[in-house]
Amino acid sequence: MTSITQAPSIPTIHWQEGGADCSARWRSERGALAPKKVMLADDTMSADTAYRLACEGTALLWRGDFQNARQMLQALGRRIDQSASTDKRGRRPRQTGFKDVRHSPEEAAAAAAKGFHVHRQAQAQRARVLGMVLLSFDGSYGLSLRRSPDARVACSQAWGVAAEGEGASVASMRELLGLISAFEWRKNGVEVAALGAAPNNRIHPHYGVFSPLRGEYVGLVATAPLARNVAALTAFDIGTGTGVLSAVLVRRGVGHVVATDNDARALECATANLAQLEVSAQVDLQKADLFPEGLADIIVCNPPWLPARASSPIERAVYDEGSAMLLGFLNGLAAHLAPKGEGWLILSNLAEQLGLRTRAELLAAIASAGLRVKAHMDVKPVHDKATDSTDPLHAARSAEITSLWRLAAAEKPTLQ
């Protein structure tokens, strides 16, 4: 019997225009479904009307001026913020979660976790409403709106080069602005002090790959103690992303690094960065979920720090549902460590501050994986959100510590 494999269907969005039924390919990097209700909108629509329609689930396919569409998006954002800060009667709701006073650590943790989940729900609602302003692209990702930018290269870097006969597509304006922002980051790069002096110290993150903007965790890898015979060491970089930690290890003199990732964008990004930094000869890039084959003297991993469900694929660099990557790394580490080898786990305690994981649970996971803690290095974050008192997560962020845990295989008891 011959089996026929159905090709995955391309998501499509439908609307009416000029008395005709229209359709186009639907694009959403955050995995949103194509809106079922779509109406045309232009510069004559008021922000209040747009906000009402967007909240009701009607998408607005923009046919006016591009810059006016940006202003509309900003106006929607202001209305979302205003709605979040007042109730239906225009009163400010009672503060809950982060600022509640509790009498026990358990109650404080529960309050923090509740506040975090409320914050995540508000973020999801904000993304849904702002995602209702749509733009249409031609077959080469061009825009036909007045005063629109040429975003074809930015779109190609994220969506891939448009195939011949690709046809029109539709995406949210918010997503396009994200693509343009990512294009600028990729073009200009991020300076990483741990890689040495400029100009050969920049990492160029690709769209959808976690950017090393928080330099404190990179600095920990740059200063953690290494054996004297560094050139003879082999290191594994688990979940390499941009390749920044592999590059730091090579710049420190590590002779051979095997870097793994299971994301095609990350592998492409790391390949380009390692070549630009002239360290490709010392790094072997491999597609893998976690560990490559063999043993290593140093195994470094910077898993997503928050054990919560990602609401979109692009959030998987931050959210690790069920601590799957963290536990996978810990449970497989001992089997891949060379004699006297170390695992370097880079982890923020933000999850602890938010009541999502306790320190006791982390230490128990380390012990149950047959590992012991040799030492840990701590550093305070210096990013803007750590000092932003208006951030809903400020109480947790202001107490955050990022650590590099030096782990080794647990010593086996000797027979008497």
280-326 pLDDT per residue, tens? 999 999 999 999 999 999 999 999 988 888 877 778 888 898 999 99
pLDDT of residue 85: 67
- First-last CA distance in the chain: 64
329-353 pLDDT per residue, tens? 999 999 999 999 999 999 999 999 9
Determine the Cα–Cα distance for residues 338 and 201; give it in Å rounded to an integer.
30
Least confident of 53-62, 65-74, 107-116, 204-213: 107-116
Amino acid at 384: D
Q: Residue 116: which pLDDT band, with cuts at 50, 70 and 90?
A: confident
Global pTM exceeds 0.75: yes
The domains found in the chain, sorted by start residue, are: 12-184 (no CATH), 190-409 (3.40.50.150)
Residue pair 249/257 in contact by the 8 Å Cβ criterion: yes
- pLDDT averaged over the chain? 90
pLDDT of residue 314: 77
262-281 pLDDT per residue, tens? 999 999 999 999 999 999 99
Distances 410 to 30, 260, 366, 391, 407 between C-alpha atoms, Å: 41, 25, 10, 41, 9
Instruction: Report whether pLDDT(102) > 70.
Output: no
**Structure-model confidence comparison of residues 396 and 54, the more confident one:** 54
pLDDT of residue 11: 94
Q: What is the DSSP string of 205-267?
A: PPTTS-----HHHHHHHHHS---S-GGG-EEEEET-TTSHHHHHHHHTT-SEEEEEES-HHHH
